[in-house]
Structure 1
């Protein structure tokens, strides 16, 4: 039993609203600032800043299924077979409302055009982040459906 525990990684994702995800896994893949990063049990301690992107988790109890979570930046800390992700916001694929995400994408695209016409760089930057978040949510939901 002790050997089994050494091959398991606990993955938890926390936002200001609370715990979004907490499961035991064989593998977690995140989109770090420097590229994709795959973490398995017994990984050396690491702290990595995250981009807006998808987190994929291969759970121990569902080896043929990946959980997908849309994460909006933050960071991941790995130590003692625990991968903790702290993010401003995160949403599991099963909880994403695709029509709301697509509406958010359309709003962001409209705001980008408006900001470009007004030469408003602050609004443009905010709208571009909103667009990346909306597209991430759409992609996570669609990837999970296939």
Structure 2
């Protein structure tokens, strides 16, 4: 058993609302600010800021299954075969309400148009973030399994 744990990464995703995800994995892929990061067992310690994007996890209990989680920024810390993601919000693909995400996308697109008409760059930036979050949730929802 001790030999097995050396080839496994424990993946935890936590938000202010609590633990969103906690599983053992062979591979974790996360969207860092500087590009995608692939994390396997025995990875060097790292801390990286994350952008809005999909986190993919190849679980050890089913090699043919990959979990998808929509993460809205935050950071990733890897140390001693534990990969911890702390994010403002995160949602597993199976829990995403696609209708709600599509409505959020439409609202964000309308806010962008209204803000562009007013030349309100701050509002455009906020609406663009909301749009990116909605699109990320929609894309991740397609990976239900």
- Between the two proteins, the alignment pairs up a number of residues equal to 145
Structure-1-length-normalised TM-score? 0.97
Residue of structure 2 equivalent to 1:34: 34
Query: Structure 1: where are the runs of 5+ without partners?
Result: none
Residue of structure 1 equivalent to 2:88: 88
Residue of structure 2 equivalent to 1:98: 98
Residue of structure 2 equivalent to 1:120: 120
Residue of structure 1 equivalent to 2:10: 10
Cα distance in 2 for partners of 1:48, 1:122 equals 26
Residue of structure 2 equivalent to 1:132: 132
Contact 2:11 2:82 in 1 (8 A): yes
Residue of structure 2 equivalent to 1:51: 51
Cα distance in 2 for partners of 1:51, 1:63 equals 27
Q: 1:121 Cα shift? A: 1.1
Q: 1:145 Cα shift? A: 4.1
**Cα shift readout 1:68-98 (whole Å, capped 9, x = no counterpart):** 0000000000000000000010000000011
Query: Structure 2: where are the runs of 5+ without partners?
Result: none
Cα distance in 1 for partners of 2:4, 2:16 equals 32
Question: Which 4+ residue blocks in structure 1 deviate beyond 2 angstroms?
Answer: none
Q: 1:59 Cα shift? A: 0.4
Q: 1:122 Cα shift? A: 1.1
Cα distance in 1 for partners of 2:140, 2:120 equals 30
Cα distance in 2 for partners of 1:2, 1:13 equals 24
Q: 1:11 Cα shift? A: 0.1
Cα distance in 2 for partners of 1:56, 1:50 equals 13
